């Protein structure tokens, strides 16, 4: 069974919370005006923010000296605050941003989903490599 320590779990959970808060703050600050003006600008920003989330995860794994075989569980712990927070944000989106276009709800969801997808891709790829080397 692959587990992470309590300290690692707390560290990855807090880092994931920070990543979610920063990405959501970025979208709140620039989403309605700047990001939604052109699709390509929106897409580039989604991948840049997703890349920043993945970079933060990678930095935390290096600082915690986490072996590759434990990165999938660490990625799940890292993503959990963002998934829960994004669910709450999506449920309350019209209350938080009443003046925004209703289409913004889906755009915000996709914005957060890109970061989670990149993180899952990184964690799954690393785990696959680690498991193939262990055999």
DSSP-derived secondary structure for 89-115: HHHHHHHH-TTS-TTHHHHHHHHHHHH
Residue 72: inside a domain: yes
Q: What percent of the chain has pLDDT over 90?
A: 21
Q: 65: alpha, beta or left, given left = phi > 0 and alpha = psi -120 to 50? A: left
**pLDDT for the residue numbered 131:** 55
**pLDDT for the residue numbered 2:** 63
Paired tokens of 61: 């794994």
CA distance 94 to 121: 31
Residue 1: inside a domain: no
Which residues constitute the domain of residue 53? 6-134
Residue 118: inside a domain: yes
Residue 93: inside a domain: yes
Paired tokens of 82: 């963002």
Selection from 108, 58, 110, 116 nearest residue 83 by Cα: 116
Paired tokens of 88: 């709450």
Domain count across the chain: 1
Note the residue count of the chain. 135
pLDDT digits (tens, 9 = 90+) for 69-114: 788 888 889 999 988 998 898 899 888 888 888 777 888 888 888 8
Residue 128: inside a domain: yes
Instruction: Indicate whether 57 pLDDT > 70.
Output: yes
Residue 70: inside a domain: yes
Residue 37: inside a domain: yes
């Amino acid at each position: 069974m692959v587990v992470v320590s309590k300290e690692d779990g707390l560290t990855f959970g807090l880092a994931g919370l920070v990543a979610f808060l920063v990405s959501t703050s970025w979208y709140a600050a620039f989403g309605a005006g700047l990001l939604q003006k052109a699709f390509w600008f929106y897409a580039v920003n989604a991948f840049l923010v997703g890349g920043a989330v993945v970079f933060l995860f990678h930095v935390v794994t290096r600082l915690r000296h986490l072996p590759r075989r434990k990165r999938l569980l660490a990625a799940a712990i890292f993503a959990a605050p963002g998934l829960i927070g994004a669910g709450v944000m999506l449920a309350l989106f019209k209350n938080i941003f009443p003046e925004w276009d209703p289409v913004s709800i889906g755009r915000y969801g996709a914005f957060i989903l890109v970061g989670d997808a990149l993180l899952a891709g990184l964690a799954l790829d690393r785990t696959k490599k680690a498991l193939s080397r262990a055999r």
